Amino acid sequence: MENSSYYKGVILDIDGTLLLHGKALPGAGEATAALRRAGYQLRFVSNTTSRSEAQLAQVLLLQGIDASEAEIQTSVSACLCFLQSHFSDKKGFIAVPEALQTRFSQLEQCGEQPDYVVLGDLDEGFNYAILNRIFNFIRNGAQLIVFHKNNWYFRDGKTWLDSGAFTRALELAGNTQAVVVGKPSPVMFQSAIQCMGLPKDQVLVVGDDVTTDVDGARNAGLPFLLVGSGKFKPADLTTHNIPQNHFISTIIGLPEWLQYRVTY
């Protein structure tokens, strides 16, 4: 199939769009292969901070979806890309779980008067001392950078306080706004596009979640296509004003949808 589409690149959400509960959704492997044959540049995105790009590539490959580590973007890689373009000559205070520390080891870090603070999901590591330390850093002008702003999450059948609740407390006390690097922040898609080197109107965002993928694409000024799998609910079409021609029921329809989009 020749790429006659207006679009030259596709950003594919992973969970709910290509995979569901770790298994490939029907047609996900075939659709991805068809996009490759047609010559589209691909990026696979996920808000996860718990799995590396290499681990995600491995999961996708095992499920028959051809993706390389370099094509995968998580909120951690989006954060590193954001720091590279905005704080490359600055010093940071990195408050992330131990498993993520090595990802930030190339950056210049300091424990006094940093220019920015990266705050991750510390879970039981959150305490008064660390929060008060970060509060004073941002009072002195450090930029607070977070992966997401979820207030709580499910684990082991229970609800747990998430880092977003602490981020909001720090924003309130420090009279500041955190930079969010995960979806629906435009940072996530902007860094994917930066790596692709394409004009942004030629890159389509494809996902199942109106609050992260569609709102994220809209926040970044990118065209989107909603897929009716994963988190999708029929009511999303009306609550989020999704035009009928920006919706497909499953990922298998994506190559054909793209083929006939010869204009923006």
**Contacting positions for Mg ion (CB under 5 A):** 13, 15-16, 208-209
**Least gap, CB of 23 to Mg ion (angstroms):** 14
Decide whether 133 or 233 has the Cβ nearer to Mg ion.
233
Minimum distance, C-beta of residue 14 to Mg ion, in the bound complex (Å): 7
User: And the tokens for 177?
Assistant: 């706004």
CB 13, min distance to Mg ion, A: 4
Of 15 and 53, nearer to Mg ion (C-beta) is 15
DSSP 108: -
> What residue has token string 């981020």?
167
Question: Which of 74, 73, 69, 113 is closest to 90 using CA atoms?
Answer: 113
Residue 102 — left, alpha, or beta (φ > 0 → left; ψ -120 to 50 → alpha)? Answer: alpha
- C-alpha of 99 from chain center: 19
CB of 16 to Mg ion, least distance (A): 3
Write down the least CB distance from residue 254 to Mg ion, Å.
14
Nearer to Mg ion, 16 or 255 (CB): 16
12 forms beta bridges with 44, 206
**H/E element holding 119?**
strand 116-119
Nearer to Mg ion by C-beta: 25 or 134? 25
To Mg ion, the closest distance from the beta carbon of 97 in angstroms equals 23
3-state secondary structure of 188: helix
Neighbours of 66 (CB within 10 A): 14
Give me the least distance between CB of 102 and Mg ion, in Å please.
Answer: 27
Question: 34 or 205: whose CB is closer to Mg ion?
Answer: 205
DSSP state of 134: H
Which single residue brings its beta carbon nearest to Mg ion?
Answer: 16
Quote the CA–CA distance of 6 and 134 in Å, as a whole number. Answer: 46
Q: Tell me the β-bridge partners of 206.
A: 12, 225
Decide whether 174 or 183 has the Cβ nearer to Mg ion: 183
Nearest to 252 by CA among 30, 62, 60, 41: 30
By C-beta, is 53 or 208 nearer to Mg ion?
208
Find, among 81, 95, 177, 172, the residue nearest to 134 by Cα.
95
